[in-house]
Amino acid sequence: MKDKQTDSTLGAIPSGKRETHLESKPTAASHKKSTRPKTEPLQLPRGAWLVFRRSGGLKFSSRQVVIYPDGRATRSGTDLPKQASASIKLNDAQMAELRRLVEQSGLANLKSSGGQQPPDSYAYEIIASGKDKPIFVEVFDGMIPASLMPLIQSLTKLLS
């Protein structure tokens, strides 16, 4: 004797017009272009030796450090409480290492990445006092010259 199998249909396709392709209808909030806050052009304050700013990321933030020739430094950021902005003092060895990295990077001969910053990535800006005028370079994640990477890594540590 054969077992009777019961039909257990879970649903049915209704009759009528059917979609033949996938179409999404964005809501008012979706697909908005990300509005990143405008950041001021990076400036070299009077008496400063170097300024480094990192900005961007998934949740946009901007942090910077200003370094003076005597090792004094100040750091600040849009994602830091006002009291977290701090003055720090770099020792002679730290300053010597930064000077070495600036020299090794060939900062004076580097060109900025150009173009637009890729979404959710970081932009790194450096302005340093040069012989005749300040030296400025801006690079983006994924487009950082190998010679500049050690300097950016070292400066990034000073941001936290």
Per the CB < 8 A criterion, the answer to whether 67 and 49 are in contact is: yes
**How do residues 137-155 score in pLDDT, each as one tens digit?**
999 998 899 999 999 999 9
Distance, in Å, from the CA atom of 156 to the CA atom of 77, rounded to the nearest integer, reads 12
Q: Which residues pair with 140 in a beta bridge?
A: 123
Q: pTM for the complete prediction?
A: 0.73
Please state, in angstroms and rounded to a whole number, the distance separating the CA atoms of residues 138 and 117.
10
**Paired sense of beta strands 50-56 and 122-128, if any:** antiparallel
- Per the CB < 8 A criterion, the answer to whether 56 and 121 are in contact is yes
Report whether CATH 3.40.50.1260 matches the domain 50-157.
Answer: no
At 31-73, the pLDDT tens digits run 444 445 556 789 999 999 999 999 999 889 999 999 999 999 9
Using 50, 70 and 90 to split pLDDT, how confident is the model at 29? very low
How far is the C-alpha of 64 from the C-alpha of 74, rounded, in Å? 8
**Residue 55, beta-bridge partner list:** 62, 123
d(CA 28, CA 36): 19
